[in-house]
Structure 1
């Protein structure tokens, strides 16, 4: 058995633990113990009633159940509940933010994107879906994947609770836990300047990948290598 920290993978909005499969397999091949969770605001039966704090609680409970150190990897929206939920967690050795919202206290994801939902957020009351005819999910999240692969992944996206996008972070894990930040340079969702601004907040070690928003799918080997090196 490896003595390295357990790795916890946290997906972003509309996604699920499935998006990490290629990275998880590669990390396990390196001898790592890996967990991937489904966030309740995407996957719970009552998700329309839930908010960011429910996701934060899910992340924290998973970490607290691990006997030993943990490296937590958060993608996109997943950075919000990770940042909030892991504040004060004593067994988190490192956080890896991948094109993620490493927010500060008093900030929300909606505020970070300008206070107005992007045109490709299809908000229907308590639930929001991603993409439309003009801005399909394939070109937003998977623009560096073959068309058939992008389409297959887009078909797996689910409606996401709307409330988490406006929920405010009130405690900040990256102020007390070392972190890395992975910038995705061909990202159609998360502008490069915004990623660069967030990556500089916590004194993070910054990596850059020539990928779209989903490097765990388009460059799983490079993504796994960055994760594997974190928190050593």
Structure 2
């Protein structure tokens, strides 16, 4: 039976490090054209007008996710969370607390994090935040991103709050591993990603513990919302209605 617009899941788009809701500007309209209600988030700590921006934590971000999911599901809609890159950390905290609140999580060149992990446990305690580094020092690929989007990235990027960088994730609810999950692999083929996960790679190990995992390959750089926005929207929509 065909899925009609009023039965489609709502989609919440969660950007990675240094990014706000604006990062999804080329993806959200395409998802809406496919019938989804779409919310693009700016996580706490990534709003440049927030005077307390540098003190925001992963717990603050997980709380913002809970509020967004509650709002999106208020009409009875199923909700799909889409996490790009570093958003995998607050999404993991949220899923540990609310594993039945969403119908699926879609990781875009990302994945769940492990209990006891931190994005950068050695991030200096006296440093308030982490600026976007020079592009030639990024440990991620800008393949396929236009010069215009690279300039916009630099102009709009907001430093990551220090607490988000340092915070050790505490996860205790095994039910988080039952949440239907899709990984859209961009920087590395999904086969390579899973090999690394099963070998215990520190950033990917939790992926190997997921009990309902779908893998989708979308070869491009680390920011497919700019390099392949229409294809990314199609992949997200397909995963959402699965």
More strand by percentage: 1
Pair 1:223–1:134, CA change in 2 (3 A): closer
What's the counterpart of residue 158 of structure 1?
158
Pair 1:47–1:151, CA change in 2 (3 A): same
- CA shift for structure 1 position 201: 3.4
Q: Secondary structure at 1:86's aligned position in 2?
A: helix
Counterpart check, 1:27 vs 2:51: no
Pair 1:134–1:96, CA change in 2 (3 A): closer
Once superposed, which parts of structure 1, at least 4 consecutive aligned residues long, lie more than 6 Å away?
Answer: none
TM-score (norm 2): 0.80
Range 149-158 or range 56-65, more displaced = 149-158
Pair 1:146–1:85, CA change in 2 (3 A): same
TM-score (norm 1): 0.83
Q: Secondary structure at 1:225's aligned position in 2?
A: helix
Query: Superposition pairs for residues 17-56 of structure 1, below 5 Å?
Result: 17-43=21-47, 44-56=50-62
- Residue segments in structure 1 that go unaligned for 5+ positions in a row: none
Q: Which of 46, 58, 65 matches 2:64?
A: 58
- Residue segments in structure 2 that go unaligned for 5+ positions in a row: 198-203
- CA shift for structure 1 position 61: 1.2
1:41/1:52 contact within 8 Å kept: no
- CA shift for structure 1 position 169: 2.1
**Backbone CA RMSD of aligned residues:** 2.6
Deviation readout 1:37-70 (Å, 9 max, x if unpaired): 1111111321111111111110111112222310
